[in-house]
Structure 1
Amino acid sequence: MRLTIESKISEIFKEFPELEERYKPYLKYFYEERLDTILFKKLSLIGALKLLNVPEEEREKIIQDFYKIANKH
């Protein structure tokens, strides 16, 4: 399956478990509020970053990082 930045977070973390620790600081709110189990099945990575108001510059870095890892596989 070809994953993109629009893929659900749960699908991304299932395929690339190493990314969960890498992106955990950005998604901290979901973990703290125990929303990760539900929302990671519904939200895309880019959608979650926008929802959490991650600055655009940081979002771009995350997107580039994601595709660098995804394209290695």
Structure 2
Amino acid sequence: MDLTCPQMGDVGTITLNKWLKREGDHVARDEVVAELATDKAVTELPAPVDGILTPVAREGSVTAPGGLLGFIGPRDES
């Protein structure tokens, strides 16, 4: 599942302040995985599903609402 930047009010750009989880970490639904910032607020980004995190955006990168930040895929059962 795509992990995308949410709409945060009427702002045009959002900065990925930092990842709180690392690539390959298992995350649970609603677990906070990143910190996002606008010129007005800092907010936490929860995982929409359980799975393995694969970030694609770098810390400090700027995106718009809907921008791709990473993926959360099924847990590797092997």
So what's the TM-score if we normalise by structure 2?
A: 0.24
Which has the larger strand fraction? 2
Larger radius of gyration: 2
